[in-house]
Amino acid sequence: MTSPISPKTILPRFPVLRPLSLAMLGLVTLGDTLAHAQQDTAKGPQSMRTPDDKWGVSLSVENDLFTKNNQDQHYTNGVRLAFISPEDSAPEPVLSAAKAVPFFASNGRIRTSYALGQSMYTPNDITIAENQPNDRPWAGLLYGSVGLLSDTGLQREDEGNYSRIDTLELTLGVVGPASLAEDTQKFVHEYIDSPDPKGWDNQIKNEPIVGLTYERKYRSWFEGDVLGLEYDATPHGGFMLGNAFTNAELGTMFRLGFDLPADYGPPRIRPSLPGSDFFAPNTQSFPVGGYLFAGVAGRWVLRDITLDGNTFANSHSIDKEPLVGDLQIGFAVIVGQARFTYTHVYRTAEFEGQDKGDQFGSLSLSVRF
């Protein structure tokens, strides 16, 4: 049995996370309770494959630093640290409750996930101290999440030759000055000698955020090989419900490479639907694998607190675009039990009056242990 992780090892002791300490303690204590008890696999219709007994940790950093303009604007930075448990580490009552949720895979291996993150949004010109009513509001989010992931693995031929992952995730956090986005950006900009962001006094006000996410992905839905290279397609769909983000998304990712690992694409930071923080290397013949990937996704946005402003108070806001599209391209390199990915994202305009879309880069490092 793998030793359960302690909340003290998950919650970093940094001032930036203090506003979330109590909320995250509750979230991670719940996840820790799940990890303490091993499920009785004989009680439910589980996948017949051997469960993966590895923990995983994944760090993702998204920033517009990677664009040719090298300029802070709109979605300017996101950081997310995630921990993924071994499979079959949740107790039977929790599995039964999860399987009662419509569409949740009832025959998959279950993992628990924990994450901490911070995201920040600014207008186009961060050197202006006055409010800019026709541009994106200043906004920061600080959040923690706990979730369940069900991975079916490869199905029998009569069930369809694909793998499927379902994810249920609860997110708690805060938006506004308590997110400490202002402190983070000013500290980093002073350290790297970048322009001082002067407009944070205009950011949206403090508000607790709650969100529930469900998503589904199919791997090996379409696959083959050509000239010694493997390729596959991974369609996905899902939705988010909450006072911070309410949306629905559909999309597909295509991969081309060698020794494709059992993963669902590179991790991403919400509101984008991420790939997967976990991966299972397929490097029996050679200790290194990798692939190129490209993906498209469309999102129907009903609420985005970083554009709509506060739910229960007056704050700066701007009319959002109801439909937003992402195009992403990148590469992944797998060496032993580590995976490194880079993703470049092109995103359509998110609010009315935005003269053009945005682009940013995403780096992630995932390690199994």
Based on the number of CB atoms within 10 Å of its own CB, is 33 exposed (0-12), middle (13-18) or buried (19 or more)?
middle
| Residue 2, in any domain of the structure | no
Based on the number of CB atoms within 10 Å of its own CB, is 208 exposed (0-12), middle (13-18) or buried (19 or more)?
middle
| CA gap 202, 34 in Å, rounded | 41
Half-sphere exposure of 212 (CA within 13 A, CB side): 2
Q: What single-letter DSSP state applies at residue 277?
A: S
| Residue 300, in any domain of the structure | yes
Nearest-CA neighbor of 109 among 94, 95, 97? 95
Phi, psi for 230 (deg, rounded to 5)? -95, 150
Phi, psi for 101 (deg, rounded to 5)? -75, 130
| CA gap 105, 110 in Å, rounded | 10
CA-based radius of gyration for the chain? 20
| Residue 144, in any domain of the structure | yes
Domain that holds residue 176: 7-368
Cis peptide before 208 (omega within 30 of 0): no
| Residue 165, in any domain of the structure | yes
| Residue 105, in any domain of the structure | yes
pTM: 0.83
Q: Say what the pLDDT of residue 206 is.
A: 98
Q: Say what the pLDDT of residue 70 is.
A: 61
Q: Say what the pLDDT of residue 270 is.
A: 81
Q: Is 344 helix (H, G, I), strand (E, B) or coil?
A: strand
Digit-by-digit pLDDT tens for the chain (369 residues) are 444 444 344 344 434 444 444 444 444 444 444 334 333 333 444 556 677 888 999 999 999 877 766 667 899 999 999 999 998 877 677 777 777 777 776 677 888 899 999 999 999 999 999 999 999 999 999 999 998 888 887 554 444 556 888 888 999 999 999 999 999 999 999 988 888 999 999 999 999 999 999 999 988 777 888 888 999 999 999 999 999 999 999 999 999 998 787 787 788 888 776 678 888 777 556 678 899 999 999 999 999 999 999 999 999 999 999 999 999 999 999 998 899 999 999 999 999 999 899 999 999 999 999
Task: Give kind and range of the element (H or E) at residue 122.
Answer: strand 109-122
| Residue 82, in any domain of the structure | yes
Q: How many independent structural domains does the chain possess?
A: 1
- With tokens 């060496």, the residue in question is 335
Torsional sign, CA 171, 174, 180, 182: positive
- Residues 199, 130: contact at Cβ < 8 Å? yes
| CA gap 324, 297 in Å, rounded | 8
Q: Distance of CA 297 to CAs 47, 201, 231, 348, 359, Å? A: 29, 34, 19, 11, 14
Q: What's the distance, Cα to Cα, between the start and end of the chain in Å? A: 14
Report the CATH number that the domain containing residue 81 is assigned in CATH. 2.40.128.140
| Residue 1, in any domain of the structure | no
User: For the segment 62-90, what is each residue's pLDDT rounded down to a tens digit?
Assistant: 998 777 666 678 999 999 999 999 988 77
